[in-house]
Structure 1
Amino acid sequence: AFSSKTSLQEAQTLLDGLTDCRAPTKTRIVAEMWGKLLQDIEPVAEIPLHLLYELEDLLKDLLEQTLYMPLDWEALPENAYEILRNLLHTRTLLENSNLPMLAWSKRHGELRFSCLDASHEIGNTIKQFGGSLLMSATLSPMEQFAKCCGQNLVSSSLVQAETPWRKKAYRLAIDLRVDTRLKLRTLHYTTTADTICRLADSAEDCVVAYFPSYEYAEGINETLLNFDSAPTVFLQPRGLSLAKQNEFLSNALNSAKVLLLIMGGSFAEGIDVLGGHVSHALIVGPSLPVADNVQRARMARLENLDSEAAYHLVCREPAITRILQAVGRMVRRPGQKATILFHCQRFAESHYQGLFSETTPEYIRTDEGMARWLRTL
């Protein structure tokens, strides 16, 4: 909501649309200038200030020429209209002093504006109401959640709904045999695929494996296909609507033995039907975000913290929250049980102990240890 992007391709689409609806010559000239300016943008961690000022001024001129000059809106193509809406949203973001933004480019001809801290804007929005009720199963750490919402925890009331039945609903284990870091994960592809197969053999229903990226999941899927007796595997498709997501998931739960999902995606965070249908899951790595220029800019704003504490706040804590959300959806009511295997040695580090605050995990160090653990399921 507080970030946006546009591109040279969109600028050309807008210019074509303005031409089709016979917009005034000056309007089309400004739109053409906007495209030429975007054409000069190359991948960069931060847009130079002089170029940013030029972009902001030209964007303002473009919107004024488009919105306040005579225009046949009925003849303007829908895609050009949506691009205008996005540009108007971008200008609104840039004019909001409560939203510190990073202007950068990932590829040629593309312009991105990423919000670095939305807490002040969220806080101002909440102040407009006489009272606000914020509910979630993953609000912790509470101090950081309140800060991100622009709230003072001292002046807020906290109501915690106890669910004692959940404390005995999980069986957790940490697999220390593998390291899923980007540079090392391919060395363990066979072990990961074999672990998925063996976990599937021990479960009566479908097994879910969560991955930090599509590339990782696709690599394991290809490895599984090379196994002689591989189980039926469904890989989460990209870009599905909510209706298609539910359709895919329903089909997968009925037909697949293994379901490969992407951590942090809508399947992991937004679908509640796994509870009661899936009792075994593999969390492949802590799903840390890539420390790109946006994350580094966010960490740089935390001047009161050292680099390790800033990294934990910006990268690790959101990853832990995503995992808790995915795991939490496997147990939705009393009587449901779930066995979760955390498949990476990093889960044994102190940084991730928040994942195991209610259930003490078992530790698996060898292939023999894995075999013994599976026999107890």
Structure 2
Amino acid sequence: VTVEEIEAVREFYADLRGELDRRVTERLDAEHPDWRASMRELDDDEIPLRDPEEPGEDAITAWAKREGYGDRVWARAKQVGAVVKRVLDSLEDEDKQRAAPGVGRTLNAWYREGHEDFFRAVDLERTWDETAPPDSWRRAYNASLALYNCLPSEPIGDRLAEFGGGVLMSATLEPMDVFREVTGLDHLEARGRPVVERTYGLSFPPENRASFAVDAPKFTHENRGPPGEANDTRLAHLDATAAVARRDGNVLVGTPSYAEATWMADALDDRLDKPVLLDESSGDRATESLKDDFFAGDGKVLVTSLRGTLTEGVDYRGDRLSAAVVCGVPIINTARPRTRAVITAYDRRFESGFETALTVPAVRKARQAVGRVIRGPDERGVRVLLDARYARESWNSVRSYLPEHEREEYRPVSPDMLEFALDRFARETADD
């Protein structure tokens, strides 16, 4: 790496930072004209650098070409970053995190990777920095150039190929054909590595669990409206959730987002005699403290987002959980440019982008949540999938994404019959 190359990359970074500043300011002026006076009210945001549904050259690459920055400055960014780190480490005694290597690798990949499978954007992460000028967006945001691989199956398969062998195990892998493709197993097999599937049924006594798919109105954004709006969809889901939540023991309630979790927790708190705990987007320490509160003492209700950490990977063994309710199908916000780019990429690969990229993972999250209830052969509990899409076949039904044995178990039930079904299960288990 020559001194001239280092100077060229440094000049490129300075101009790139200026272009980033211009684009963020332009975005805020267009979307929030009074943003300088209301910085604390800004939310996380994403600025797409191309049409997410029409693959093509991104705006930053096009800008660099216009400014005369050719292939070499992009290609050498990685090496320059590594050299800068090595030189600075030799000049300073203390160990420091260096930004230059990561920036260099990202910009090298930005230049190297294609525009069909990769999506480029400017990510705006909400923060607060009193040291930034009062009229600068940097007071409210950290901005970063982000390069997203919309179809990462081949890199995942390549990484798996580095191991001598391995086991991918979960109760929620189905449908297997989708799982094999998106996680790189088919790519791994194409490289000559054997991939063997094994499927085992649930060995716990079926009489210990009651599983219901409640035919309530679809809990979609369009049907439910904003949190706090009282309509038939929200009331139906609140009534059914309360019917389960007022039963003895701890009850876990999963909603599509943290905003919906806040609404549900407030509404349940007005109806129930037992404590209602709300999980908000927070750090590990707050989450652990919340779990301790939930597990301690008499029965409580814990309301969380299905995209959080309390609905998968947490062991609610023994009597820590007696029931779980899932409200709606937790499909991520399709308005985000990045999400639309992923759907487009999956459409080209699978001809069913929405289904493969969004619906199947959403159903997996719902199944993970209700799977917290029965963790051993002696445990008993109630599992409720609350939304018509789980209960009946329709144009956007997700019932077919449940494994066959689960479709048989999750009996469709109308909202007005849920109380009766819960009472019957309570009597049967009491008799046992």
1:45 alignment partner, one of 44, 48, 62 = 48
> Where do residues 142-291 of structure 1 align in structure 2 (5 Å cutoff)?
142-152=176-186, 155-165=194-204, 167-185=206-224, 186=229, 187=231, 188-202=233-247, 204-225=248-269, 227=270, 229-241=272-284, 244-254=286-296, 257-274=300-317, 276-291=319-334
Equivalenced residues, count = 346
Aligned to 2:222, the other structure's residue is in SS state coil
- C-alpha spacing 1:66/1:83, structure 2 compared with 1 (3 Å): closer
RMSD: 3.4
Given candidates 140, 145, 151, the residue that maps to 1:117 is 151
Deviation at 1:288, TM superposition (A): 1.0
Q: Does 1:103 align with 2:103?
A: no
In structure 1, what residue type is equivalent to 2:337?
N
Paired AA for residue 413 in structure 2:
I
* Structure 1 gap ranges (5+): 1-23
CA deviation map 1:259-288 (0-9, x unaligned): 012113221112113554112111010111
Identity within the alignment, % = 18
> Structure 1 residue 294: deviation in Å?
2.6
Do the aligned residues in 1 keep the contact of 2:324 with 2:369 (CA within 8 Å)? no
**Residue 127 and residue 224 in structure 1: after superposition, are their counterparts in 2 closer, same or farther (change >3 A)?**
closer
1:372 to 420, 426, 431: 420
What does the per-residue CA deviation read over 1:279-301, in whole Å, with 9 as the maximum and x for residues that have no partner? 21110101112223333323323
Structure 2 matches for 1:30-69, cutoff 5 A?
31-41=13-23, 42=27, 44-47=47-50, 48-52=57-61, 54=64, 67-69=82-84
Please tell me whether the aligned partners of residues 31 and 62 of structure 1 are also in contact (alpha carbons under 8 angstroms).
no
Match of 2:54 in 1: none
- Conservation of the 8 A alpha-carbon contact between 1:174 and 1:344: yes
Which residue of the other structure, out of 348, 355, 358, is the alignment partner of 1:315? 358
Contact 1:27/1:65 (8 A) holds in 2:
yes
| Partner SS for 1:303 | helix
SS in 2 for 1:282: strand
CA distance in structure 1 between the aligned counterparts of 2:371 and 2:184, rounded to whole angstroms = 26
Q: Structure 2-normalised TM-score?
A: 0.69
Deviations 1:324-377 (A, max 9, x none): 22222322221222211212122124432333632433333343x233223223
1:345 is the counterpart of 2:362: no
Change (3 A) 1:75 1:222: farther
Q: Aligned partner of 1:46: which letter?
A: L
- The amino acid that maps onto 1:263 is L
Which amino acid in 2 is paired with 1:298? Answer: V
Moved more, 349-358 or 274-283: 349-358
Query: How far did residue 178 of structure 1 move?
Result: 3.0
Aligned in 2, Cα 1:265/1:274: closer, same or farther, shift over 3 Å?
Answer: farther
Match of 2:129 in 1: none
- Report what 1:128 is aligned to: 162
* Pairwise CA distance, 1:217: 0.6
Task: Quote the offset at 1:89 in angstroms.
Answer: 4.9
The one-character-per-residue Cα deviations of 1:298-331 (angstroms, maximum 9, x if unpaired) are 332333654xx33211111111111222222322
Q: Note if 1:335 corresponds to 2:378.
A: yes
Q: Deviations over 1:150-207 (max 9, x none)?
A: 33369422233444326554311122233311122242334433433332222x2111
Contact 1:189-1:220 within 8 A present in 2 as well = no
Going from structure 1 to structure 2, the CA distance change for 1:40 and 1:354 (only over 3 Å counts) comes to same
CA distance in 1, matches of 2:72, 2:265: 49
Q: Is the 8 A contact 1:212 1:287 kept in 2?
A: yes
**Structure 1 pair 110/230, CA: closer, same or farther in 2 (3 Å)?**
farther
Q: Normalising to structure 1: TM-score of the pair?
A: 0.77
Whether contact under 8 Å (2:208, 2:379) holds in the other structure is yes
Return the offset for 1:136: 2.5
Higher relative contact order (CA 8 A, sep 6+): 1
Equivalent-residue separation in structure 2 for 1:35 and 1:84 (angstroms): 14
- Report the residue type matching 1:198 in the other structure: A
> Aligned equivalents of 1:82 and 1:205: distance in 2?
50
